Structure 1
Amino acid sequence: MVGSVRRERRRKGEESGPRKMGTSFRPGGFSFTGYVYLLTYLLMAITGLGYLALTWSTVVLLGGFVTSLQRKDFWCLTVISMLQAARIFNDLGDQLVTKFFNLLIAFNRRAVSVAREWLAFQTIDGKPIPRKKIGNWLRILIVIYVVVVYIPLLPLLAGCYIVVFLYGYGGPIVCIGLALWRIVQRDYGSNDGDDTKANLTPALDLFYCLILCQGVLYMTWLWSHPPGGAFIIVTSRQDYNLPRKWGYIWLVDYLFDTRAKCWQDPASIQGSTMSRYAVDLIDSESWDDNLSGLRMLATFIRQEADVRSLLLPSRARIQKLINTLGWRASASREMREAAGCIVAHLASDIHLAQFPGAIRCISTLLQDEATLTYWWNCDQKQDHTHLRTGSRSTMHTWINILEKIMPKAREQEVNRQGDDDDDRQHKKHVVDVKGGGCNELILQGLTILERLASDQHNCMDICRNPSLLPRIMAPLCSNTLIQGAKTSAWADVVNGSFKVLYRLIRCPGWTGKCLRRDIATSEQGISNLESILDQSNEAGQELQMRAMEILTELALDSSTNLTMETKENLMKKQLEIFLDEESAAISKDLKATAGRTLTFLITNSKVNCSVVKDYFGHLTELLDAKNNTTYRMIAAQVLENICAHCDLDKECVKDTLLPQILTGIQSNKREPPEGADDQGDDEKTETKELQENFLSLTLVIYDNLISIDDFDDAIQKNGLGNGEFVVKLKTIVEENCKETVISLRIVKLCGQIAATMMMRSQYTEHFKNQGFAESLSKAKKIMSNLESCVLFAGTELRLKKIATPLLSEIEKELN
Structure 2
Amino acid sequence: MSCWDRIWDKFCEESREKLVDDSCWAEVEAKSYALFMGYLSMAVKGLGFLVLTWTTVVLLGGFIDDLQNNDFWCLTFITLVQTAGIFDVLLTEKLSYIGDAFTSIAYVECTRKSDNIWRTVLSRVHTLVLAIFLCPLVAVYMGGLVVSTMLSVWHLIQQDYHADGVRNLKKALLVLYSLVLLQGVTFCYKLMNSWAKGSIVNAVVHERGFDKDCRDGISDYIRETMIGCEKDPSSVKGRNLITYAVGLMESKSPDDYISGVRILDAFAKKLEAAVKEVEGVDDPHQYTRENILKKHLIMSAASPDIVQKLLQTLGRISIYDRETRGHAARVVASIAHDIHLGKYPKAIGYISSLLDTYEEYSILQPYRADWLYETYEQDFKQISLPVNQDDIVEQGDYDVGFAKTYKKLLEVESDHDLLQAYKRLVEQGFRILRKLAANNDNCRVMFGTPYLLPKIMAPVTSDLLHHRNEDGRMKHIDNAACYSIVQGSMKVIAQLTAATGQIGTKLRDEISCSMELITAMRTILECKECNEMLQKIAIWILTHLHQDENSSPGHEGTQEFITMLVDIMTHDKKYKEARRVVAAKALVALSSETGSARIIMESNNNLIHSLTRLIVEKRRCSQMAAEILENICIHCNGDVQSLKTLKEAMPIVVPKLLEEILFWPTEDI
Match of 1:228 in 2: 196
State the 1:357 CA deviation. Answer: 1.1
Cα deviation for residue 24 of structure 1 reads 7.4
1:574–1:598 CA contact under 8 A, matched in 2 = no
Equivalent in 550, 564, 588 of residue 559 of structure 1? 550
For 2:180, the aligned partner's letter is: I
Alpha-carbon separation, structure 2, partners of 1:479 and 1:70: 93
Gap regions ≥5 residues in structure 2: 1-18, 272-286, 369-414, 469-475, 634-645
Structure 2 match to 1:572? 566
Amino acid at match of 1:555: H
- CA distance in structure 1 between the aligned counterparts of 2:72 and 2:109, rounded to whole angstroms: 47
- In structure 2, what is the equivalent of residue 36 of structure 1? 34
SS of residue matched to 2:522: helix
CA displacement at 1:232 relative to structure 2? 0.8
The reply to whether residue 179 of structure 1 matches residue 174 of structure 2 is no
Map residues 91-490 of structure 1 onto 2, 5 A cutoff: 98-107=95-104, 147-151=121-125, 154-155=128-129, 157-169=131-143, 171-186=144-159, 188=161, 191=164, 197=167, 199-225=168-194, 227-244=195-212, 246-304=213-271, 305=287, 306=291, 307-314=294-301, 315-328=304-317, 330-375=319-364, 436-478=420-462, 482-483=466-467, 486=477, 487-490=479-482
CA contact (8 A) 2:249 2:258 kept: yes
- The residue identity in structure 2 corresponding to 1:619 is L
Q: 2:655 aligns with which of 631, 651, 658?
A: 651
Alignment-derived partner of residue 397 in structure 2: none
For the 8 Å contact 2:202–2:215, the answer to whether it is kept is yes
Could you say if the C-alpha distance between residues 264 and 519 of structure 1 is closer, same or farther in structure 2, counting changes exceeding 3 Å?
Answer: same
One-letter identity of the residue aligned with 1:313: S
> 1:56 offset after TM fit, Å?
1.4
Distance 1:512 1:216 in 2: 73
Shift of 1:458: 0.9
CA distance in 2, matches of 1:100, 1:378: 31
Q: What count of residue pairs does the alignment treat as equivalent? A: 550
1:308·1:346 contact (CA, 8 Å) conserved in 2? Answer: yes
What is the Cα deviation at residue 603 of structure 1? 4.9
Residues 273-294 of structure 1: per-residue CA shift (max 9 Å, x gap) = 2222222333333433333322
Distance 1:153 1:552, change over 3 A: closer
For residues 56 and 185 of structure 1, the distance between their equivalents in structure 2, rounded to whole angstroms, comes to: 21
Query: Does the 8 Å contact 1:27/1:275 carry over to 2?
Result: no
Change (3 A) 1:650 1:243: same
Which string of whole-angstrom CA distances, capped at 9 and with x for unpartnered residues, describes residues 306-339 of structure 1? 1211211244211121122224364322222222
State the shift of 1:377 in Å.
Answer: 11
Equivalent residues of 2:615, 2:625 under 8 A apart: no
Per the alignment, residue 534 of structure 1 pairs with: 526
Identity of aligned residues (%): 28
* Residues 714 and 505 (structure 1), Cα distance of their counterparts in 2 relative to 1, 3 Å cut: closer
CA distance in 2, matches of 1:65, 1:639: 105
Q: Using a 3 Å threshold, how does the CA distance of structure 1 residues 90 and 439 change in structure 2: closer, same or farther?
A: closer
What is the alpha-carbon distance in structure 1 between the residues aligned to residue 545 and residue 93 of structure 2? 71
Shift of 1:638: 3.4
Superposed displacement of residue 141, structure 1: 6.6
Residues 286, 152 of structure 1: alpha-carbon distance in 2 compared, 3 angstrom cutoff: closer
CA distance in 1, matches of 2:316, 2:241: 26
Question: Displacement of 1:95 after TM fit?
Answer: 6.6
Quote the offset at 1:233 in angstroms: 0.6
Whether 1:491 and 2:486 are equivalent positions in the alignment is no
Match of 1:504 in 2: 496
- Amino acid paired to 2:207: D
Range with greater deviation from structure 2 (246-255 or 259-268):
259-268
CA distance, structure 1, for counterparts of residue 158 and residue 104 of structure 2? 50
- Compute the displacement of 1:641 (Å): 4.1
Give the one of 532, 547, 556 matched to 2:538: 547
Q: How does 1:600-639 map to 2 (within 5 A)?
A: 600-603=589-592, 607=598, 610=601, 612-616=607-611, 619-620=614-615, 623=618, 632=620, 635-639=622-626
Q: Deviations over 1:175-207 (max 9, x none)?
A: 22232333344454574xx5x51x233323322
Q: Distance in 2 between matches of 1:269 and 1:718?
A: 63
CA RMSD of aligned residues (A): 3.9
> Structure 1 pair 204/150, CA: closer, same or farther in 2 (3 Å)?
same
Per the alignment, do residues 40 and 329 of structure 1 end up closer, same or farther by CA in structure 2, a change over 3 Å counting?
A: closer
Q: What secondary structure, in the 3-state scheme, does the structure 1 residue paired with 2:610 have? A: helix
Aligned to 2:408: none
Q: C-alpha distance in 1, partners of 2:204/2:129?
A: 46
**Does structure 2 conserve the Cα–Cα contact (< 8 Å) formed by 1:25 and 1:240?**
no
Give the Cα–Cα distance (whole angstroms) in 1 for the partners of residues 493 and 86 of structure 2: 66
Change (3 A) 1:86 1:369: closer
Q: CA deviation at 1:271?
A: 1.8
- Deviation sequence 1:595-634 (CA, Å, 0-9, x none): 543443445765477565333465347647xxxxxxx4x5
1:104 is aligned with what amino acid? A
**CA distance in structure 1 between the aligned counterparts of 2:629 and 2:23, rounded to whole angstroms:** 47
Once the two structures are superposed, residues 238-265 of structure 1 have per-residue CA deviations (whole angstroms, 9 ceiling, x without a partner) of: 1112222x22222222233333344444
- Pick one of 40, 53, 56 that aligns with 1:55: 53
> In structure 2, the residue corresponding to 1:483 is in which secondary structure?
strand
Using the TM superposition, give the Cα deviation of residue 156 of structure 1 relative to its aligned residue in structure 2, in angstroms.
5.8
* Residue identity in the other structure for 1:494: V
Query: What is the TM-score when the length of structure 1 is the normalising length?
Result: 0.60
Q: Structure 1 residues 592 and 254, CA, compared in 2 at 3 Å: closer, same or farther?
A: farther
Does the C-alpha gap of structure 1 residues 65 and 370 become closer, same or farther in structure 2, counting only changes over 3 Å? Answer: closer
Letter in 2 for 1:36: A
Asked if structure 1 preserves the Cα contact closer than 8 Å seen for 2:315 and 2:354, the reply is yes
Report the alpha carbon displacement of residue 82 of structure 1 after superposing the two structures with TM: 3.4
Residue in 1 that maps onto 2:390: none
Deviations along 1:121-153, one digit per CA (max 9) or x if unpaired, are: xxxxxxxxxxxxxxxxx7577998675234356
CA displacement 1:516-561 (0-9 Å, x = unmatched): 2344444433322222111111x53232122111111123223113
Instruction: Please say if residues 44 and 89 of structure 2, whose CA atoms lie closer than 8 Å, have aligned partners that are also in contact.
Output: no
Q: How does 1:20-35 map to 2 (within 5 A)?
A: 29-35=27-33
- Judged with a 3 Å threshold, the aligned counterparts in structure 2 of structure 1 residues 573 and 31 are, in CA distance, closer, same or farther, namely same
Change (3 A) 1:714 1:233: closer
Query: 2: CA distance between counterparts of 1:87 and 1:596?
Result: 74
Residue aligned with 1:231, SS:
helix
Residues 594, 327 of structure 1: CA spacing in aligned structure 2 closer, same or farther, 3 A cutoff?
A: same
Instruction: Give the 3 Å change call, closer, same or farther, for CA 204–623 of structure 1 in structure 2.
Output: farther
Matched-pair contact (CA < 8 Å) for 2:245–2:260: yes
1:111 & 1:159 partners in 2: Cα distance? 15
5+ long unaligned stretches in structure 1: 1-18, 116-137, 380-430, 625-631, 659-710, 721-815
Deviations 1:478-523 (A, max 9, x none): 4777439724333333322221221112212222223323444444
Greater mean alpha carbon deviation, residues 455-464 or residues 284-293: 284-293
Once residues 92 and 421 of structure 2 are traced to their aligned partners in structure 1, the CA distance between those partners, rounded to angstroms, is 44
TM-score by length of 2: 0.72
**Is 479-488 or 439-448 further displaced after alignment?**
479-488
Aligned partners of 2:487 and 2:534 also within 8 Å: yes
Distance 1:112-1:551 versus aligned 2 partners, 3 A rule = farther
Q: Which amino acid aligns with 1:463?
A: F
User: Is the contact made by 2:337 and 2:436 (CA closer than 8 Å) also made in structure 1?
Assistant: yes
User: Which range moves more in the overlay, 307-316 or 102-111?
Assistant: 102-111
Q: Alpha-carbon deviation of 1:465?
A: 1.7
CA distance in 1, matches of 2:92, 2:120: 25
Q: CA deviation at 1:451?
A: 0.8
